[in-house]
Structure 1
Amino acid sequence: MALLGIEGLTVEFPTRRGTFVAVKDADLTVEPGQIHGLVGESGAGKSTIGAAIMGLIDPPGRIAGGTIRFRGDAISGLDAKGMRALRGRKISMIFQDPLTSLNPLYTVRQQLVETIRLHLDLSETEASARAVELIERVGIADPETRADQYPHQFSGGMRQRVVIALALCSDPDVIVADEPTTALDVSIQAQILDLIKELARERQVGVILITHDMGVIADTTDVVTVMYRGEVVESGPTREVLGNPQHPYSQSLIAAVPRPDVKLGRFPLIGYGGRVTEFRIADLARDWPMPETPRGTPLVEVDGLTKQFQTRRAIRASRRRYLTAVDAARFEIRQGEVFGLVGESGSGKSTLARMIAGLFPSDEGDVRYAGRSINTGRRGVPDWYRRDIQMIFQDPFSSLNPRMRVDAIVAEPARHHGLFTGSALRQRVAELLDRVGLGADAGLKYPHEFSGGQRQRISIARALATQPKFLICDEPTSALDVSIQAQILNILKDLQDHLNLTMLFISHDLPVVRQMCDRVGVMKDGKLVEIAATEDLFAAPGHDYTRHLMSLMPRLDGLSDTALQRA
């Protein structure tokens, strides 16, 4: 008997324009000890299936047909009380966004203890000890101390590990993992995936793994189901589906996966269904001011940047404790190149980028831009520097103001710096939205009306509004599926080719780094341990830590050579 079975599942959402069918006649099963992968583009219905299993379909959405069974018993028709008895105790879910999964007003220990005591018959002391054990199990160092901290004191990757610890609290029989490794670097991703595989193997836990990372699918799952526009288009053993995909959409999806073994000129776009987006970045080059710095000469020079954060406050200085997030970083970024920055979660990558951008003051060191010293201390950076440098943030959901229309969001930087006014500004905004494939009409809408990939394109349009010469990309594609990721990365490649932009590209996805970057710096515990040309780094990493990261990179051995060669 299957641990979890879904037969003919259909989920509908009534709207003013008619009924939207999010999932149509979907079938899948999960056996004890089996990891079942669920892949597809944004909007394919993957997360909707996970929500249906957990009984978390938001009204007016409803299960319009089909049955969900747990150990043979139908659970799709249970009332709220019946689902509460299953949810968390027998079936747990790991949500994609750790910020919305954790209560900012409670410590991590309090949240774990509450969940443990709700489902298990343990005392406060026993539950507290189990909470610390779970924190350590998901790879967080110094668990006793970190347990008493609040979610905002953790990095994005660490918050995701706390969410995973919450899902494991009750020793569930089924885990629905919705993009559980999206915000994690390769080393922590490997720990989490090993933990999931261990649970499946030793405790016979059934896992539904929803992810856009085909490397994770190839490396972790036993069975994979491919979804397209709410329907299952292909399903079977992972090696068979990835090694010899039968459906055109499956073939197209695999072709869009970044290659870990060879560098490509461009990323292939998913053409199934006629939905390839056209970008015309080259048109922007007409009036784009060319940089004064000759190509190949240093544009940004980082000289000994150091940043400390106080972790324990005290009146006496001797009792204060500090965390050194960035420790005397030194490197240069040359005009026209893409410089990559990789490392584990908490290694200091984003902190370093924010100091370069002038968003964080540095404690020591300086940044030189085109030979001019930029004061990154408490006084901030000059306004002309902020015009020349722009940043694309990791999360396209929180980096856009939900109360502003898209045209106002894109226009704001140019208006602030006085570059365009009136009709010229409106024309500029319309042109930018058109060039990134959204169309000028997108300016009349609000951010919530767009998908994650579309919102990231709005962020790119906003970053281009001041005609910058230096672009900082902080995990710009980590929350996107492979098809949208290919579109965004192609835009960035076009920006470099046609506008001669210089970029700092931060990512935990090593195959993406190989495709995008000319040189790469590797960070560990706030220090740059290695800097090398990208091909040299991947062919022969010089530092032990770099070799460790490379060894943890998910391999695509299960993917068909034919599909990969399409790239």
Structure 2
Amino acid sequence: MSVLLDIDGLKVVFESRHGDVTAARNVCLSIASGEILGVVGESGAGKSTIGNAAMGLLERPGKVAGGTVTLEGERIDGLPPEAMRRLRGAKISMIFQDPLTSLDPLRTIAEQLVTTMTTHLPLSEREARKRAVALMHEVGIPDPEARIDDYPHQFSGGMRQRVVIALALCAEPNVIIADEPTTALDVSIQAQILDLLRKLVRTKGAGMIIITHDMGVIAEIADRVAVMYRGEVVEAGPTRKILGDPDHDYTKSLISAVPRPDVKLDRFPLVEHIESAGSRRSLDLKTHWLGQKRDYGALDGPLLSVRDLEMTFRVGSMFGGGRRSVNAVDGVSFDIAAGETFGLVGESGSGKSTIARLVTGIYQPTGGAIVFAGTDLAGITRRRELNRHRRQMQMIFQDPYSSVNPRKKVGAIVAEPILFHKLAGSRAEVNRIVADLLDHVGLGAKVAGKYPHEFSGGQRQRISIARALATRPRFLICDEPTSALDVSIQAQVLNLLKDLQAELGLTMLFISHDLPVIRQMCDRVAVMRRGRIEEIAPTEDLFERPQNEYTRHLLKLMPKMTGAAA
């Protein structure tokens, strides 16, 4: 097999007024024709930096300070920008992690795919469009003939990621660098995408580097694995050897933190080499602010009852006709008891996040009832009364980067709901509560004066949790709260949520496409498909004895850590 991409002794440095920061040092990786190399490690390990350096996409002040990058025998790390632009897409392509920032929001999907293909391939616009439709079908986008003329905002997060994958593959590059390509995808589409990538590599003789924190994906697709820690490759070798019999202590700890799909544990194991966000103190609810004014009175029945819920969206152009109705939620009913963690799983676009937005009042349903603590929220017309109920429910969003205001300091972000709902008498009291909340989620009071960009993804998610707790809620909606986090930070955040639930008696609606995480977190689970619920069952019953054929299909597709150490 011929070597397609060779990275030899690469060093990447970010210059700053406080001195240079070395993001990667002495990194040696190579990819042969028909081979898939997995690169794993925690946030900040240097994984994405290596991919960006190979593509010539390092952002200032980052620079390649040593080593070489060779593509098909030609050194490319020193090429001028115009020469690199001709290579990108045609010979080397990248699947980016964030589909929102890698797609142009002002151009249709057809425009973006067709332009890329006609630039790099000898195709007419008509031929390129036909190939674009076929690619969209291959990556699992339903009704591609109609959806190809939609804009990125008209797709769910998972479907946008599929479009990004189609965009990276459309010009048939020889080398593909996939940076967390399946993070936003459910297990069925993930399996489809991995099969597509594997087939492309095997049949076309391409080579691929797949950067991911999902060890199940690595077990499923990679031929070899390189483990990165603090900018260096600490261990590399065949996938079965690395997952089943690792040599480095960091690798062993990393594998142990992967959520178990086969058995439920009380807590998630932590990666010993990774520093936690900070220690937490147990609290006395009789004296602590979070425990005050939590007597909501007797509850006769479930805390949340959803009955025949419906949500219809109108999509397509409003000018040239072609607008159509999409039933995002179609007759959904379920109950959540006080103190329970209720899971929602299903494919991207199945309606999970839409339900979260309906329950919190972000969307208004087109039909059905949402009864919270005995009150039908749809029947409330006075804003003050509606806010009183909304104060009791808070949401933790999927993306810790876009869900906090980058222009505000952390203290102001956490204080906002306290001020809005007038939960404190003075500014000094607000500041004291904010400091205590930040301390309680393991960040410490001193971070109140910093901005969100100064924190990692896991720390930002802790900020989001502190903000959610600021109204003393009884109900938390967690919409994919850890899908953007690596396994060690995920373990910390999920353990924190478990602790908070035990301390405060919280009820949670937990939405995720990660089935092992659902098994560890939830008491009962509902499986959604195309806006409907296929099955509801206690978690262990659902995983051990699924009744619905679609549920069995999802569980069968769940990546398994083949060869991993027990």
Sort the TM-score into its range (normalised by shorter chain): over 0.9
Distance in 1, Cα, partners of 2:464 & 2:317: 37
Q: Is the 8 A contact 2:277 2:459 kept in 1?
A: no
**How far does residue 279 in structure 1 lie from its aligned partner after superposition?**
4.0
The equivalent residue for 1:58 is 59
Match of 2:417 among 397, 413, 419: 413
Unaligned runs of 5+ in 1: 562-567
**How far does residue 379 in structure 1 lie from its aligned partner after superposition?**
7.4
Is structure 2 residue 257 aligned with structure 1 residue 252? no
The equivalent residue for 1:199 is 200
The equivalent residue for 1:564 is none
Distance in 2, Cα, partners of 1:298 & 1:278: 35
Q: Is the 8 A contact 1:282 1:494 kept in 2?
A: no
The equivalent residue for 1:510 is 515
Distance in 1, Cα, partners of 2:132 & 2:380: 40
SS in 1 for 2:540: helix
Per-residue displacement from partner, 1:257-277 (whole Å, max 9, x unpaired)?
00000000011111126x133
Q: Is the 8 A contact 2:154 2:315 kept in 1?
A: no
Distance in 2, Cα, partners of 1:156 & 1:172: 25
**How far does residue 424 in structure 1 lie from its aligned partner after superposition?**
1.1
Distance in 2, Cα, partners of 1:333 & 1:24: 51
**How far does residue 316 in structure 1 lie from its aligned partner after superposition?**
13
Letter of the aligned partner of 1:499 in structure 2? L
**How far does residue 75 in structure 1 lie from its aligned partner after superposition?**
1.4
The equivalent residue for 2:437 is 432
Q: 1:284 to 1:429 in 2, by over 3 A?
A: farther
Q: 1:314 to 1:38 in 2, by over 3 A?
A: closer
Match of 1:332 among 332, 335, 338: 335
Q: How does 1:442-461 map to 2 (within 5 A)?
A: 442-461=447-466
Distance in 1, Cα, partners of 2:155 & 2:379: 24
Letter of the aligned partner of 2:73 in structure 1? G
The equivalent residue for 1:233 is 234
Distance in 2, Cα, partners of 1:438 & 1:529: 40
Distance in 2, Cα, partners of 1:13 & 1:162: 31
Distance in 1, Cα, partners of 2:311 & 2:393: 21
The equivalent residue for 1:341 is 344
Distance in 1, Cα, partners of 2:339 & 2:560: 31
Distance in 2, Cα, partners of 1:218 & 1:309: 39
SS in 1 for 2:3: coil
Report the RMSD for the aligned CA atoms in angstroms.
1.9
The equivalent residue for 1:121 is 122
Letter of the aligned partner of 2:336 in structure 1? I
SS in 2 for 1:3: strand
The equivalent residue for 1:277 is 277
Is structure 2 residue 539 aligned with structure 1 residue 534? yes
**How far does residue 296 in structure 1 lie from its aligned partner after superposition?**
10
Distance in 2, Cα, partners of 1:450 & 1:376: 41
Distance in 1, Cα, partners of 2:299 & 2:268: 25
Q: How does 1:79-90 map to 2 (within 5 A)?
A: 79-90=80-91
The equivalent residue for 1:552 is 557
Per-residue displacement from partner, 1:204-256 (whole Å, max 9, x unpaired)?
11010000101101111010000011011110001001101111110110111
Q: 1:279 to 1:342 in 2, by over 3 A?
A: farther
Distance in 1, Cα, partners of 2:463 & 2:299: 28
Letter of the aligned partner of 1:82 in structure 2? A
Report the TM-score when normalising by structure 1: 0.96
**How far does residue 283 in structure 1 lie from its aligned partner after superposition?**
2.2
Q: Is the 8 A contact 2:482 2:493 kept in 1?
A: yes
**How far does residue 59 in structure 1 lie from its aligned partner after superposition?**
2.0
Per-residue displacement from partner, 1:390-432 (whole Å, max 9, x unpaired)?
0000111111111111100000001100001311110111111
Q: Is the 8 A contact 1:281 1:494 kept in 2?
A: no
Per-residue displacement from partner, 1:537-567 (whole Å, max 9, x unpaired)?
0001111111111111001122111xxxxxx
Over 6 Å off, 4+ runs: 293-296, 313-317, 376-381
**Percent of aligned pairs sharing the same letter:** 59
The equivalent residue for 2:324 is 321
**How far does residue 376 in structure 1 lie from its aligned partner after superposition?**
6.7
Report the TM-score when normalising by structure 2: 0.96
Match of 1:359 among 335, 359, 362: 362
Distance in 1, Cα, partners of 2:398 & 2:279: 21
Moved more, 80-89 or 459-468: 80-89
Letter of the aligned partner of 2:135 in structure 1? L
Per-residue displacement from partner, 1:15-48 (whole Å, max 9, x unpaired)?
1111000001011111111110010000000000
SS in 2 for 1:407: helix
Letter of the aligned partner of 1:461 in structure 2? A
Q: 1:295 to 1:365 in 2, by over 3 A?
A: closer
Q: How does 1:1-80 map to 2 (within 5 A)?
A: 1-80=2-81
Is structure 2 residue 309 aligned with structure 1 residue 305? yes
Match of 1:385 among 389, 392, 396: 389
Moved more, 128-137 or 532-541: 128-137
Letter of the aligned partner of 1:29 in structure 2? S
Q: 1:77 to 1:281 in 2, by over 3 A?
A: same
**How far does residue 386 in structure 1 lie from its aligned partner after superposition?**
1.1
Letter of the aligned partner of 2:498 in structure 1? K
SS in 1 for 2:362: coil
Q: Is the 8 A contact 1:182 1:478 kept in 2?
A: yes
**How far does residue 85 in structure 1 lie from its aligned partner after superposition?**
2.3
Distance in 2, Cα, partners of 1:312 & 1:56: 34
